[in-house]
Amino acid sequence: MNFIDEALLEVRAGNGGSGCLSFRREKYIPRGGPDGGDGGKGGSVIIKVDQGMNTLIDYQNKKVLAAKNGTSGSGRNRSGQDGENLILLVPLGTVIIDDSSDTTIYDCSDPSKDYLIAKGGDGGHGNARFKSSTNQAPRKITPGYEGDSITIRLELRSFADVGLVGFPNAGKSTFLNSVSAAKPKIGDYPFTTLKPNLGTIKYFDKSYVIADIPGLIEGASSGLGLGIKFLKHISRTKSLIIFLDPENPEIEMLDQFKILTKELLEFDKALIEKKIWIVVNKNDLLEENGSAEAESLKGQLSDLDINYQELLTISGYTRNNVEELFNSLFNEKLA
């Protein structure tokens, strides 16, 4: 499994078309004036955000992408045609880096914006432009200008507010499915989710993006399971929800929590320093919605030196307590 969240592209804007050298030729006008038109502008390369996209996989096999050249001007003062712009669509949160200097050019966070990457060359001037009182028959033109070209690296770190972390089968995708319009695959086997899914939820008048990533297991930081490479997708989220699964037949919830936080720490200490909510999921399968399990887990956690915001029992399936989770998550901490 190789999830592409990076791409290297050489992009070239179009060149401007050349100006035209031409003189009017008409009956009864033996020496017509200059009428060579200007060349058209080259197309630019522009990046735009497509909110429906969540990977850069489309760019995997593309190496060089070029916008169209402008065409040359022609006689009778006709200008050349402008080359068409090349629009590249990327997922929200894509970072564009100039590969040669390793500097970030844009952080594509605004879906309404055009991010200009390479500007098309201006068209050249036709000889009609150079007519003056002292030169009625100029033979001068200028060629079109070259378009910019640049090698860029696209990097996608997901732009979510909340990241979902848990063992395989903990119910992360079920949760995302029931609270947002996203339709991630759900399965009663581990590693159903192979790449991150993003969903948007509305909470009163605000919306938040939730990232569901593949499940983690012990040793993920040394490459076991699907590994921890997906954790970079939640490196910029403000909060994490750690999903604990009371139905996990092998690992009890306290150990799940310890293993998960250890793997997060191994990847990046900053992950553990985020605001963390803990949920005991699947409470529809527990007596009294898991109140006993929650209390006992709280007691066990108080012995550990762990900072978390709140521990709740929920069911992604029936949505029990999901409202309370959102109240706690969005009201206090994110709003």
Binding site for Mg ion (CB under 5 A): 173, 192-193
Residue 284 binds: one of ligand GTP, Mg ion, none (C-beta under 5 to 8 A by kind): ligand GTP
Q: Nearer Cβ to Mg ion, position 119 or 172?
A: 172
Whole-angstrom distance, CA of residue 210 vs CA of residue 198: 6
Question: Which of 98-106, 117-125, 180-188, 259-267 is the region at the interface with ligand GTP (rule: CB under 6 A)?
Answer: 180-188
Q: How far is the CB of 244 from ligand GTP (least distance, A)?
A: 11
Number of residues located near ligand GTP, criterion CB under 6 A: 24
Q: Which amino acid is present at 178? A: S
Q: Nearest-CA neighbor of 202 among 323, 39, 49, 26?
A: 323
Whole-angstrom distance, CA of residue 266 vs CA of residue 293: 28
Note whether 145 and 16 are within 8 A (CB). yes
Whole-angstrom distance, CA of residue 31 vs CA of residue 37: 18
Question: Which of 6-14, 56-64, 277-285, 327-335 is the region at the interface with ligand GTP (rule: CB under 6 A)?
Answer: 277-285
Q: Nearer Cβ to ligand GTP, position 8 or 285?
A: 285
| Sole binder of ligand GTP in the list 18, 71, 173, 313 (CB under 6 A) | 173
Note whether 307 and 301 are within 8 A (CB). no
Q: Nearer Cβ to ligand GTP, position 2 or 132?
A: 2
Question: Does residue number 193 form part of the binding site for ligand GTP (CB under 6 A)?
Answer: yes
| Sole binder of ligand GTP in the list 72, 79, 94, 169 (CB under 6 A) | 169
Q: Where are the extended beta strands (E) located within the chain?
A: 6-12, 45-49, 64-66, 86-90, 94-98, 103-108, 115-118, 149-156, 162-166, 197-203, 206-212, 239-244, 275-280, 310-313
Question: If phi over 0 gives left and psi between -120 and 50 gives alpha, with beta otherwise, what is residue 326?
Answer: alpha
Other CB atoms within a 10 A radius of the CB of residue 82 amount to 21
Near ligand GTP in 204-263, by CB under 6 A? 214-215
What number of residues does the chain have?
A: 335
Q: Nearer Cβ to ligand GTP, position 194 or 306?
A: 194
Phi, psi of 276 (to 5 degrees): -115, 130
Whole-angstrom distance, CA of residue 216 vs CA of residue 196: 12
CA distances from 290 to 252, 299, 315 (A): 14, 14, 10
Question: Does residue number 69 form part of the binding site for ligand GTP (CB under 6 A)?
Answer: no
Question: Does residue number 163 form part of the binding site for ligand GTP (CB under 6 A)?
Answer: no
Question: Which of 41-49, 184-192, 217-225, 250-258 is the region at the interface with ligand GTP (rule: CB under 6 A)?
Answer: 184-192
Residue 169 binds: one of Mg ion, ligand GTP, none (C-beta under 5 to 8 A by kind): ligand GTP
Q: Nearer Cβ to Mg ion, position 165 or 325?
A: 165
Whole-angstrom distance, CA of residue 316 vs CA of residue 195: 20
Residue 170 binds: one of Mg ion, ligand GTP, none (C-beta under 5 to 8 A by kind): ligand GTP
Residue 166 binds: one of ligand GTP, Mg ion, none (C-beta under 5 to 8 A by kind): ligand GTP
Q: Which residues bind ligand GTP (CB under 6 A)?
A: 166, 168-174, 186-188, 190-193, 214-215, 281-282, 284-285, 315-317
